[in-house]
Amino acid sequence: MSEHIQQDSETQATQNKTVQEDVLDIYEDLLRTVWTKIVPTLGTVTVATIMQRSINRSSAKHSFLKHLTVSDTGFDFADVVANINDVNVAEMKEGFKGLVASLFDILAKLTGNILIRQLEREVEGFEVL
């Protein structure tokens, strides 16, 4: 009986890890797309600063996001992946949604809705779990 429970627990952990990886992949693709679309308009330094500000705001509520790093070439998710084991999928989704909302909020305040509408068209095809 305990062997069956252990197998179920291991199966559930494997499924959770797979869903975590799916969530990370989706948001990594989304954030890279946003980066690629706004760098030509705002410049690398400005975009990196905006992204870092969004991460700082969002990581106050979702600490796993503090492991997301930004450089002049984009995002690095390696530390997030290494530190995500204890984070449940619902928190991951909420954290990344908050990060994207914060990013769009900062961009709207700085550039108005023109850039935001352009980004929304670009990312509307992303399927968020």
Give residue-wise pLDDT tens across range 69-127.
999 888 899 999 898 888 899 999 999 999 999 999 999 998 888 788 878 777 776 65
Q: What is the reported pLDDT for 15?
A: 66
pLDDT mean over 11-21: 73
Q: Residues near 68 by Cβ (< 8 Å), separated by ≥ 6?
A: 55, 59, 75, 76, 77, 79, 80, 99
Domain residue extents for the chain = 2-123
Q: In this structure, are residues 99 and 65 in contact, taking their beta carbons and an 8 Å threshold?
A: yes
Tokens of 103: 């990013």
Strands (E), 1-129: 69-71, 74-76
Of 99, 35, 108, residue with least CA distance to 71: 35
The predicted model gives 38-47 an average pLDDT of 93
Q: Are 118 and 58 in contact (CB under 8 A)?
A: no
DSSP state for residue 63 in the 8-state scheme: G
